[in-house]
Amino acid sequence: MDDDLRDLLRLMVVARRLDEECVALQRQGVLPAYAPALGQEAAQVGSAAALDLERDFAFPTYRELGAAVAMGVDPVAYLATHLNIWHGGLYDPSATHLAPFNAVVGGPVTHAVGWAMGAQLDGTGGAAITYFGDGASSQGDVHEAMNFAGVYRLPVVFFCQSNGWAISVPTDQQVAGGSVAARAAGYGIEGQQVDGNDVTAVREATRDALQRARAGGGPTVIEAITYRMGPHSTSDDPRRYRSTEDERAWAERDPIARTASSLPAEALSSAEEHAEAVVRETGERLRALPPPPGDELFSFVYREPTAPLLDQQRAWKESQHA
């Protein structure tokens, strides 16, 4: 059990230190923007650790660095998306079973349901997990996806990281009924809340939901109650809409400190040492990535380029030689 918890702690610490490095890189102008996940490491690592990477598939938002780490995705290949190096990052979604992350609020939810229907039809036995926040749960696409999945009993887990805020709007002001998990009953599917700062509780709840989905038991909504300890994005200032008292109260429930408290002291220091090496290498490799070719501005826009697009491309090429 200790070895298992050590592995989860190591993944969580790597996720946090990489997250902090990404914020620093954004401040230095290396990354144009970034959405921090500070405080949500247990929810992300615990849920992703429950996946069977031979047959399940994950559909992330723009804030799932911890899930990518837990799934073994190269962090440089994942974070390359922020640099626009290539469409959907440099990693292979078909090999990693992690879809390109989606910046559309609620966007990955419909994609996961579509994939789950495909898995049901081809009989591969896999299940999908889709990530979204409590703010995204109010999107119409999310309700349509849950309804569709409920009707067809699709193998999908709707994993909501209820982090307290829909950007600057508190959950209790934008989720009717006070619970995302309670909405599952309206679609005839399973729904439950879990302590999103307890990594083992998250993993077990997700594992049970995935097993039920693979066995034909239909979808599950899991609402992981956690807290976004940082800003919504690097352009956000949470001090404008929440109190320091609230932040301090949640800091005492820090998921990494909570996990480390169940292990010998050297477990955390070992995890920190490992994370330091990962962060150093990731930063160096990210900085070394070449910028994308400029002519890609005009690629993949239309199957057959339009005359205005070709005119723009010609003007751009001429400007390069001016």
| Three-class DSSP labels, 235-249 | CCCHHHCCCHHHHHH
What is the β-pairing status of strands 156-162 and 220-225? parallel
> Percent of the chain having pLDDT more than 70?
99
Q: Is the pLDDT of residue 301 over 90?
A: no
Active site residue 228: yes
Calculate the average pLDDT of the chain.
94
Largest CA distance in the chain: 66
CB atoms within 10 A of CB 312: 15
Handedness of CA 110, 135, 216, 209 (dihedral sign): positive
Give mean pLDDT, residues 125-145.
95
**Could you give the C-alpha distances from 63 to 9, 125, 159, 222, 252, in angstroms and in order?**
19, 28, 13, 17, 22
Rg (CA), the chain: 20
Residue range 2-291 in CATH 3.40.718.10: no
Give mean pLDDT, residues 205-214.
98
Exactly one of 241, 280, 287, 314 is catalytic; name it. 241
Give mean pLDDT, residues 37-58.
97
Task: Record the pTM.
Answer: 0.93
- Environment class of residue 315 by beta-carbon count within 10 Å: exposed (0-12), middle (13-18) or buried (19+)? exposed
Q: How far apart are CA 32 and CA 14, in angstroms?
A: 22
Q: Is the pLDDT of residue 256 over 90?
A: yes
C-alpha closest to that of 138 among 168, 196, 103, 179: 179
pLDDT at residue 85 in the model: 79
pLDDT at residue 1 in the model: 59
How confident is residue 124, by pLDDT bands cut at 50, 70 and 90? confident
How confident is residue 296, by pLDDT bands cut at 50, 70 and 90? confident
Q: Is the pLDDT of residue 4 over 90?
A: yes
**Could you give the C-alpha distances from 315 to 58, 190, 301, 312, in angstroms and in order?**
41, 56, 17, 5
Question: In the structure encoding, which two tokens stand for residue 177, read together?
Answer: 């009924």
CATH 3.40.50.970 maps onto the chain at 2-291
pLDDT tens digits along 16-39: 999 999 999 999 999 999 999 999
Give mean pLDDT, residues 159-176.
90
pLDDT tens digits along 78-121: 999 888 777 777 899 999 999 998 889 999 999 999 999 999 99
Residues with Cβ within 8 Å of 131's Cβ and at least 6 positions away in sequence, in order, are: 44, 47, 58, 59, 60, 61, 63, 64, 67, 108, 159, 161
Question: In the structure encoding, which two tokens stand for residue 239, read together?
Answer: 């001090």
pLDDT tens digits along 267-285: 999 999 999 999 999 999 9
pLDDT at residue 89 in the model: 79
Strands of 134-291, DSSP E: 156-162, 165-166, 169-170, 190-195, 220-225
The residue type at 29:
G
Active site residue 232: yes
